[in-house]
Amino acid sequence: MAHASARGPRIAVMAAVAALGVVFGDIGTSPLYALKTVFLLDGGAVRANQEDVFGVISLMFWSITIVVSIKYVAILMRADNDGEGGVMALAALAQRLYATRAGRAGALLVIGIVGVSLFYGDSIITPAISVLSAVEGLDVTTPQIAHLVVPIAAVILIGLFVFQRFGTGKVGGLFGPVMVLWFVVMAVAGLAVVIRYPSVLLGLSPSYAVVFLVAHPSISFIALGAVVLVITGAEALYADMGHFGPTPIRRAWFFLVFPALTINYLGQAALILHDPAAKANPFFLLIPEWGRLPVVILATVATVIASQAVISGAFSLSRQAVSLGVLPPLTIRQTSKKEGGQIYLPALNGLLFIGVMAVMLAFGSSERLSTAYGISVTGALVVDTLLLLLVARPLWHWRAWKIVAAGVVFGGLELTFLAGNLSKIINGGWVPLLIAAAVITIMTTWRRGRQLVQADRKKKEGSLAAFIEEVRLQKVPRVPGIAVFPHQNKESTPLALRANVKHNHIVHERVIIVSTTTARVPHVPASDAYIYDDLGDADDGIDHLTIRFGFSDDPDIPRALRVACREGVLPLKAADFNRASYFISRGTIRRAREKGMARWRRSLFIGLANNAADPAARFRLPALRTVTMGNDVEI
């Protein structure tokens, strides 16, 4: 019993450490560039005197406290959608809560699309700026090889994206202990300076932030564009919740990450206050000269982990977007047998890699990249706050005064950050906005095109019950064999089934229409995995089977059908499916003359549809016994 009781805390610690290796990389590496950027903005508009230093450090501390500790960790992590976090999960949750109001539910999805599009902009810039800021530590330790910063950063990023195929679980297990060391080193480095200059602790008072904002409105407005860098990674933290769950993330944040960040920022502020020249790179100048090169190496590894946080967050949000019908089906590989959120998307991984490399090579330094950073982050924060205010009443029964207070505190702070970052648009801030605009275009086009396709398919599919009656009355010839038709429901007729009757004038002796769903558990036992329906007539040879897969189960339809036979669910022999034929309902999408979409959007939708994941490969259908057929679909 003692051994079992000790095992619980050990597992909790291991989960928190693994979460450190994936979730906190982005926000945990902000000290590399956040405070430096504040003091380098606009030719040094923020000065290295007590008033400005205390004002900036107060703004940073309370921004982290309000936005990350309170809004995300304490509140928003309670708003999950079947265990998933992030703006798309929040939008889906809001849709569910407002399901009876069709117009509002659609608007909520559009808000989610805007939020996730801004997050993609963050996902491309974060790896570039994080890795560059770490490798630039070579400027301090070994200036003679500073010209190799970009090539070294490129090699590191290539390795990171190649490693994604092994999954976030393995990444977290490998990187977790490294991040523990990273946060401990940050805390120790900051604490050594804070002990020498303890007066810097006064900067934690919110009064200094207020005085700074009131006394220097124009300078503080510029500073806010860089102060926001301390909370980059907050949305990624929420989006990664599905990988580990909220409890390990909360423990890691409050027991290690938040204290370490606070101490390090205080140490940097104290150093700048007593040595203004240190503002050029206060993070690395905190470290004694003998330890700088090892810390550069450690920082480089930590920034790789920072990149991991947003990449894995992008994977999670993309899967949610696919399930909500705003992205085309993507190939998704489950990388964990225990956690449903641990996935790998090859196509998205490749697109992110291209975007990250392009941005890094175009800007060339973390200082120049910082001008492009912040707009997408603050925009995503504002979207999350808007959705939070919408779900608070139906989900937690918040009273009006509490919703107003949250809107004023969270929304007011984040809108101020957003306004402060608008000045960056000309100098590079247009990059994440352009990325977001492209993603919004793709998502809205896919959503609208999908609606038009489904409407046209619904007309052509018709009622399954009516089709079965038609087959019986017309005495369509039956041929030996089993035909399996993957289809989303049992109310309408698979287009492939209709096409088979129309063109071949036959129906197989046994027809099985198969629908699949994914449960929020790793594995579904065979006893609970199947729902069989003879569709009202046990003798007509046309049946329906619903298969429930767990998120770690391979969605192998042929194997699942054989298991259903062995379990006695299907009145057939498992060996019969070794010769069964499979029919995919997929027709050519053609442009219709009717209005509904602009010509260029129709072309974009058709291109997306033609490159969507192949359902035959996803369901492990045998290539030599699978036929794709159906009527053309118009949009």
**What are the structural domains, with CATH classification, of the chain?**
8-449 (1.20.1740.10), 462-634 (no CATH)
| Structure confidence at residue 202 (pLDDT) | 94
- In the predicted model, residues of the chain with pLDDT beneath 50 are 1-6
Comparing CA positions, the residue from 6, 31, 4 lying closest to residue 130 is 31
Cα separation, 250 vs 324, whole angstroms: 28
| Structure confidence at residue 6 (pLDDT) | 44
| Structure confidence at residue 339 (pLDDT) | 54
Secondary structure letter of residue 613 according to DSSP = P
Comparing CA positions, the residue from 154, 137, 226 lying closest to residue 189 is 137
Cα separation, 43 vs 35, whole angstroms: 14
Comparing CA positions, the residue from 244, 154, 239, 176 lying closest to residue 28 is 176
Distances, alpha carbon 618 to alpha carbons 330, 340, 342, 445, 513, in Å: 10, 17, 18, 24, 17
Cα separation, 244 vs 257, whole angstroms: 16
| Structure confidence at residue 102 (pLDDT) | 56
Beta bridge partners of 589: 633
Comparing CA positions, the residue from 88, 506, 111 lying closest to residue 323 is 88
Cα separation, 249 vs 55, whole angstroms: 30
Cα separation, 562 vs 274, whole angstroms: 74
| Structure confidence at residue 257 (pLDDT) | 94
In the chain, what's the furthest Cα-to-Cα distance? 94
Q: Contact at 8 Å (CB) between 457 and 495?
A: yes
| Structure confidence at residue 167 (pLDDT) | 64
Residue type, 468: I
Q: What is the pLDDT of residues 348-365, one digit of tens each?
A: 889 999 999 999 999 888
Cα 494-495-499 angle, rounded to 5 deg: 125
Cα separation, 23 vs 244, whole angstroms: 9
- R_g of the chain computed on alpha carbons: 28
| Structure confidence at residue 5 (pLDDT) | 40
